Amino acid sequence: MTAAPESTESPRVILGKIVSVQGLRGAVKVYSHTDPLDNVLEYAEWTLTRGSEQRTVSVLGGRLQGRVLVVQLKGVNDRNQAEELVNFEISVEAEALPELEEGEFYWYQLEGLQVINLEGQLFGKVDHLLETGSNDVMVVKPCAGSIDQRERLLPYLPGQFVLNIDLDAAVIQVDWDAEF
């Protein structure tokens, strides 16, 4: 999950994207970033954003179909109306997300944090995270002050490679050799 553009409201978190339409009655297919995939249906209202265009929609219901969700939105009653929504990102206010246990983080909270190893070497900043199946991976891109210009893929394994996450200092400390 990544942060959406900021506004005067609380920060928004992107939960998925409308990728196509389903049938003739206005259903849309949604690729969800939530885990499990159908958690995106827990939010009754979505903010849809595509470029500078933004609108709020109400979710009537949905179902999992393979790796996508088929969702019916209020006021979207035919295929033409549904096609207008393709490629809109789905977001909600960060405040609407469930609170996490101590030591747990949403991906959007980790993006932009500096990554430093035990020797104090700055690798860069977390650009985004990837789900690989066995474990999540932080994509760390160089920034001002980085030890080199390498992009690094670091396993997101708290307690093993990720030693400390300090949101206030915007730093993740890792046990990772700069040469690896």
pLDDT surpassing 60 at residue 17: yes
Residue 87 and residue 56 share a domain:
yes
**Residue-level pLDDT at 76:** 97
At 46, list the tokens. Answer: 């979505």
114 and 76, same structural domain? no
Residue 165 lies in a domain: yes
Residue where one domain finishes, among candidates 61, 95, 129? 95
pLDDT in tens, 19-71: 999 999 999 999 999 889 999 999 999 999 999 999 999 999 999 999 999 99
Last residue of some domain: 95, 124, 148? 95
What is the predicted pLDDT for the residue at 35? 84
Which CATH number is 57's domain given?
A: 2.40.30.60
Looking up residue 151, the CATH number of its domain turns out to be: 2.30.30.240
Amino acid at 156: Y
Residue 132's pLDDT is 85
Instruction: Give the per-residue pLDDT at 133.
Output: 80
Residues 123-149, mean pLDDT to the nearest whole number: 94
Range of the domain at 140: 107-174
C-alpha dist (Å) from residue 20 to 4, 27, 76, 88, 89? 21, 9, 14, 10, 12
- DSSP symbols for 89-117: EEEEEGGGSPPPPTT---HHHHTT-EEEE
131 located within any domain: yes
Q: What is the pLDDT of residue 5?
A: 47
Phi, psi values for residue 132, rounded to 5°: -110, -10
